[in-house]
A and B are shown apart, each in its own frame.
Chain A
């Protein structure tokens, strides 16, 4: 047993940290978050061409680096720390995961090399139903419909809360057979965003650092080659994709929670009142200690979930994965803890900054807002605890 990063993993993390510190500055974040697109195309090109991050866990046979989820999580932690505004998350943690988990060999061969070349992608599966009951992110959220029409499928419906939904070039769309509910009748399709009948709108959000879009499918016709796996039988794959993405969000949250803690502690060491740094007051020290406790516990949860996700992907590749079956639980454990950790740390960080924490000028609000948006995206703590509770309490 060795539950620590390897030398190579540490190198990947440190490289990501150094690069992001240079490119994802406060000034840069503020510049791109004010745009509809929400990211800088030149920076995305740099990430794709110079760093090759978008290919991190794509298998080598498709032109990727063939690394694992632990390496991906090590990078996501840094992206969360530096609030990177980029289609990386949607492309890699939603689009690529969907292709790896559910894509046919033909689809993988066609689309994964495109992603390696810089094509952006996302997963569009949630309808308005995702907003019901304070958030539901399982198959109940799938509302778009798919109807077989000769050799083709006809897709209709509205998809909401789609990460980079207005900009992604490739969409993985979940739709269900008319009259079905829950896990029944769910199918996944690969749909290039420029397909006729796909209408996309940017939905402005409180958190400006990650854009969401609404996608209307208006009699979109796709061929049978767009269908991922068997028709009406994609619920398990969709759940796996969403669980993998959930681990990824948790990793970003943990990074963000650590960063707002570091920024806040630094600030309290500089800010003097009553002729001493406020960091010397026990009321401040104890809040900071609680922030660190949450961050370290969150870190343990995220790293474990990363190992589980890695095993789950190994099973997808036809290899052994001892921990694969733990994926839903590990994702919920990590996401419930990290969601609360990030928002609490951001809120406490704001409080400890005092008045300046309430200004637009200081970066605290950027973290405070990302904390809330990522808390709800793919399920808040209450949603994930209910998933855990159902496992523990509803058996027999």
Chain B
């Protein structure tokens, strides 16, 4: 076991830190520590400008292969980049869905034409993406997708024809800011569950797509509903064959080795530090029950970091399956963060009710406390996580499948 980074990697760390220090200034100063989960509605335009600034410095898509415009960083360097990015307080990355999800999927499963068409815009920080997976009837049961994709031939024979998409997606974050969406939709109308789906790359700016913000528990909107009413997708913009959409969509999971987790933990540490400062200032730090909870939060955040280091050092299965320490990660961090929200409020005492201003202007910690309730729901609820852990990690029987009507 070796826990330190190589001298070369430490030099890379210095390079990242210096660049951020030199560039997160002037008009971007106000973006520090803003725009993360729960705060994504803030400064959208300024953060788009920041994305392009990052791109100009070569700091987008650092983990992508060089041939696709990435920096070709090793896992260690990606970890370092994420750590330094969070340490510097650089803002929530508006391009993260393109960089982390759409791009890698296109690289792995897309055609050469799709790569050339879509990857440069992501690398340049010009084109933002959102993810069209969940539907009103397809939450935990994600395969229960009802959105339909129908292929329409061009009668004139001049074009290759097109896909026409009808249906509704929900919980689509950043849809209102995005240029493109990747959508899973049913190509075979008679199919059920994960069979008969397709994976489509679509332009957001078209008459058939309407975006409506969802007003959340925080009173703000970063999630959206997206309605598809005869929306169009070019014949060449399906990734994989019709019917292979589930395979493509699930392929993404195998790419997640946890490089972003250490950066995420840096944000958690910032929140905990803020709570500790408040506890010291208002005397909650002398309350034995609060002391225990703060110590527990701190200890578990440390272990979360060690767990990520194990994830990053592990090889995983050759089929892309996750190791045990990776299987449990979502359940652990989401539950930890939810507890953190409660701790923040309890440390503040009655003062936790006081808004920054009217009509509903939440402080960062109030917003965090409310927003963390989504952590244990999105990306697989805690209950779905437990099913996955029990079935894949412990070999317990799968949930009985009930045939669709």
Contacts and interface: CB of A to CB of B under 8 A. Distances in A.
Interface of A: 1-6, 9, 70, 261, 265, 268-269, 276-277, 279-280, 282, 284-286, 288-290, 292-293, 296-301, 303-304, 306-307, 322-323, 329, 332-333, 336-337, 382, 384-389, 392-394, 396
Given A300-B310, A332-B299, A279 B3 contact: no
Given A303-B306, A333-B299, A280 B386 contact: no
Given A279-B397, A280-B397, A289-B393, 13 more contacts: A3-B1, A3-B3, A4-B314, A280-B400, A289-B331, A292-B328, A300-B325, A301-B306, A322-B4, A337-B300, A384-B299, A385-B299, A393-B279
Nearest to B330: A293
A199 to B, nearest CB: 38
B303 A300 contact: yes
Interface string B40-65: 00000000000000000000000000
Given A285-B396, A292-B389, A297-B303, A386 B291 contact: yes
Closest 5 CB pairs of A and B: A385-B295, A285-B390, A289-B386, A289-B389, A300-B307
A297 B397 contact: no
B1 A4 contact: yes
Q: Which of B300, B310, B324, B383 has the most CB of A within 10 A?
A: B310
Nearest to B286: A393
Contacts of A2: 1-2, 313
A306 B310 CA distance: 14
B264 interface: no
Contacts, number: 160
Contact of A389 (B294, B302, B303, B400): B294
Interface string B363-405: 0000000000000000000010111011101111101100000
Interface string B1-42: 111110001000000000000000000000000000000000
B313 A293 contact: no
Contacts of B9: 1
Contact of B386 (A6, A290, A296, A387): A290
B312 interface: yes
A292 B394 contact: yes
B276 interface: yes
Given A1-B76, A3-B3, A4-B1, A389 B295 contact: yes
Interface residues on B, range: 35 or more
B285 interface: yes
Given A299-B325, A300-B307, A323 B396 contact: no
Contacts of A5: 1
Contacts of B387: 282, 285-286, 289
B280 interface: yes
B3 A1 contact: yes
A239 B358 CA distance: 53
B296 interface: yes
A296 B325 contact: yes
Nearest to B80: A1
Contacts of A388: 295, 298-299
Given A1-B2, A292-B393, A322-B4, A336 B296 contact: yes
Contact of B324 (A292, A332, A387, A396): A292
Given A3-B310, A6-B1, A303-B310, A385 B292 contact: yes
A288 B2 contact: no
A336 B327 CA distance: 23
Given A285-B387, A304-B306, A385 B397 contact: no
A280 B398 CA distance: 7
A320 to B, nearest CB: 11
A76 B276 CA distance: 35
B324 A296 contact: yes
B252 interface: no
Given A2-B2, A282-B399, A297-B332, A389 B292 contact: yes
A160 to B, nearest CB: 26
Contacts of B214: none
B309 interface: yes
Interface in B307-327: 307, 309-310, 312-314, 324-325, 327
Contacts of B331: 289, 293
A384 B310 CA distance: 24
A380 B397 CA distance: 36
Nearest to B303: A301
B312 A1 contact: yes
28 contacts: A1-B4, A3-B1, A3-B3, A3-B306, A3-B313, A265-B395, A277-B397, A279-B396, A280-B396, A285-B386, A288-B389, A289-B393, A292-B324, A292-B328, A296-B307, A297-B304, A297-B328, A298-B303, A299-B310, A300-B303, A300-B306, A303-B310, A307-B1, A307-B3, A336-B296, A386-B291, A387-B295, A393-B276
A276 B2 CA distance: 46
A333 B389 CA distance: 24
A2 to B, nearest CB: 5
A387 B292 CA distance: 10
B19 to A, nearest CB: 22
Contacts of A288: 389-390, 394, 396
A282 B389 CA distance: 12
A393 B386 contact: no
A6 B324 CA distance: 18
A286 B325 CA distance: 17
Nearest to A334: B303
B340 to A, nearest CB: 14
Q: Which of A265, A277, A288, A304 has the most CB of B within 10 A?
A: A304
A332 B300 CA distance: 11
Given A282-B387, A292-B324, A393 B285 contact: yes
Contact of A265 (B279, B280, B312, B394): B394
A389 B279 CA distance: 11
Interface in B234-282: 276, 279-280
Contacts of B397: 276-277, 279-280
A268 B391 CA distance: 13
A306 B1 contact: yes
Interface string B323-356: 0110110011000000000000000000000000
Contacts of B303: 297-298, 300-301, 304, 333, 337
A332 B276 CA distance: 19
B280 A393 contact: yes
Given A285-B396, A293-B328, A304-B306, A1 B299 contact: no
Contacts of A3: 1-3, 306, 309-310, 312-313
